Amino acid sequence: AYGWERLENMVQHERTACLLPLDGMLQDLPTLELDSRQATRIAQGQRLILEQTPGDGRVRLYQGGKFIGLGRLDGHLLAAERLLSQAAKNAALASIGLE
């Protein structure tokens, strides 16, 4: 943690280097990589049936290697729990063919 005064005295690239990735505090959760079609469907509120899963419970969701949010697995059924707004925006664009 850095104090406000210390952050104010840093140049922009030094402040940026202090930031943790969005999923930095979620490293204990298993990951699930979705293809673009799956990511669009999950962002539109649809549930997915997956063949292989890391087990039940919360998972970190990625699409193209980028963190898009959290999901919850119940057996082979995946539902979105919390998604980043960019994931929802991309899903909306995809649904009208602008992705």
Joined together, the tokens standing for residue 53 give 């899963």
Q: What pLDDT is stored for residue 92 in this prediction?
A: 66
The winner for highest mean pLDDT among 18-22, 27-31, 92-96 is 27-31
Q: Which of 74, 77, 81 is nearest to 50 (CA)?
A: 77
User: What confidence tens digit (pLDDT) does each residue in 10-25 have?
Assistant: 999 988 888 877 888 8
Q: What pLDDT is stored for residue 95 in this prediction?
A: 65
Identity at 25, one-letter amino acid code = M
Q: What pLDDT is stored for residue 89 in this prediction?
A: 74
User: What confidence tens digit (pLDDT) does each residue in 39-51 have?
Assistant: 989 998 999 999 9
The overall pTM is greater than 0.85: no
Tell whether the model's pLDDT for residue 31 goes beyond 90: yes
Q: Which of 14, 40, 54 is nearest to 99 (CA)?
A: 40
